[in-house]
Structure 1
Amino acid sequence: MVQQLTPDQIEALLVFYRDAGVDVALDETAIDRFAEGEAELAARQRAAAGEPPPPKAAVLAAREAARSATDLDALKAILEAFDGCALKATASRTVFEDGARQARVMFVGEAPGRDEDLAGKPFVGRSGQLLDRMLAAIGLDRNTNAYIANVIPWRPPGNRTPTPQEIAICEPFIRRQIELKNPDLLVCVGAPSTETLMGLKGIMKSRGRLQPYQLGERQIQAIATLHPAYLLRSPIAKRLAWRDLLTIKAVLER
């Protein structure tokens, strides 16, 4: 006889699966994961066949395109039309932003993952859920007073680390996005964002310290913090992230 689970037991089981990293349920029909990999490879080959601009030319084209944007909507349209980065061909969609454009604080991560690629918004997977809880702890949420973006707007295949070339091509767009957003405080989430935007290596040494960030003729403050994905792997580091959050809160309360 099959035991019927209570609603509380079902909820507890789902939480267990989530914490264990289970993100897909088995279907009644088989799914050919090899075919999915072949499809991704074919997409990369199609991108290569399109002969995107050489690295230097692509970076120059990105700078010129980003510079031409006069507001965030224009920048989003320009980014969606830009074909100088091969990542675009293998991604489902461009992940440009989420949150309140009027917010005083802007958070910038590295690149979209699988969940973000499907949703078209940054930080919506397990890392995003943890980020939301972290923001809530200091009175922030993406619907009213926090703005979120990524250095890379397209998911790298297999969630691999973006190459230096890909970062160089995308960097003009995120820097222009920061300029147009014009926050009072920039928060770099994780090592890649910190190195790209603040020029600092070693997230453990860089995190938690306010640094100047030149925003056109205006100078704002920037701070690095640990990525939620790292905190999920190393919960003991949450105490360090909490200190960073308190610094962020103090800056916004001035």
Structure 2
Amino acid sequence: MESALDYWSAKALLEWQVELGATDAVCDAPVDRYGLQQAAPKPAKANAAPQIIKPKEVDPVAEAKTAAAGAASLAALREIMAGFEHCALKRGARNLVFSDGQAGARVMIIGEAPGREEDLQGKPFVGRAGQLLDKMLAAIDLNRAENVYITNVLPWRPPQNRDPEAAEMAMMLPFLERHVALAKPDVLVLMGNISCQAVLGRRGITRLRGTWDQAWGKPVMPMFHPAFLLRQPQQKRQAWADLLELKQRLKAQ
């Protein structure tokens, strides 16, 4: 709406108000300043701390069971194990030690874990203990080139050749069980305490050796590990008795 006063009249009135001491212009309607203080705006909320999202916990044993069940062949199982990232031993090892010998052989030997030579070559039982094992097998007309298949409880070398930990064995056990199922041996030979603990759930190779047991639907023969026989050659007599028992079992089946 246009003002009823002309410019010069309005200017004169404004100057007169300034001379009277007016300092602020006011609105047509009054403003309740006390009411404004009561309705003062609330202070803005401080930024909330960012919510930390914890990563989902992974059960390595469950992951291993699922992965192992998906292997339809020994070649597929090897590839799956090579890609398994939950076992810390893999990061310190040079090679995956999967197997040696003839898949489908009647005798499957399960050792403990790779040593230095096995880690370098990627095959089980290739050091001094492996050489003794070959001599033991030859004594009962067996060899890895024709009628023996060999693997280990763990496919990677533990640091300083220490004993495998219970958690390491537990996460790799589903792969070992699947390995046995795919290899289809008639007889399992467990070399040493670690193998007995993993497969039979018991230790004490001196008590267990020479006595047939059962695991995964297979007859199982615990024996002294060749590395133990190198340190305790007087035990070779008992090892020879176990080999003869194995030979007799193979003839009977």
Q: Where on the TM-score scale, by shorter chain, does this alignment land: which range?
A: 0.7 to 0.9
Deviations 1:43-86 (A, max 9, x none): xxxxxxxxxx9996111111110111111111000001111100
Residue 28 of structure 1 corresponds to none
Q: Aligned residues, how many?
A: 198
1:137 aligns with 2:157: no
TM score, norm. by length of structure 2: 0.76
CA shift for structure 1 position 253: 1.1
SS in 2 for 1:188: strand
Root-mean-square deviation (CA, aligned residues, Å) is 1.5
Structure 2, unmatched stretches of 5+, are 1-54
CA shift for structure 1 position 190: 0.4
Residue 223 of structure 1 corresponds to 221
Residue 240 of structure 1 corresponds to 238
Residue 99 of structure 1 corresponds to 101
* Paired AA for residue 228 in structure 2: Y
Identify if the C-alpha distance between structure 1 residues 153 and 247 changes in structure 2 by more than 3 Å, giving closer, same or farther: same
Query: 2: CA distance between counterparts of 1:54 and 1:85?
Result: 17
SS in 1 for 2:185: coil
Query: 1: CA distance between counterparts of 2:104 and 2:62?
Result: 30
The counterpart of 1:166, out of the listed 155, 165, 168, is 168
Q: How does 1:127-206 map to 2 (within 5 A)?
A: 127-206=129-208
Query: 2: CA distance between counterparts of 1:205 and 1:186?
Result: 18
CA radius of gyration, larger in: 2
Query: 1: CA distance between counterparts of 2:184 and 2:201?
Result: 19
SS in 2 for 1:149: strand
CA shift for structure 1 position 220: 2.2
CA shift for structure 1 position 160: 1.1
TM score, norm. by length of structure 1: 0.76
SS in 2 for 1:253: helix
Identity rate, percent? 49
Query: 2: CA distance between counterparts of 1:112 and 1:185?
Result: 22
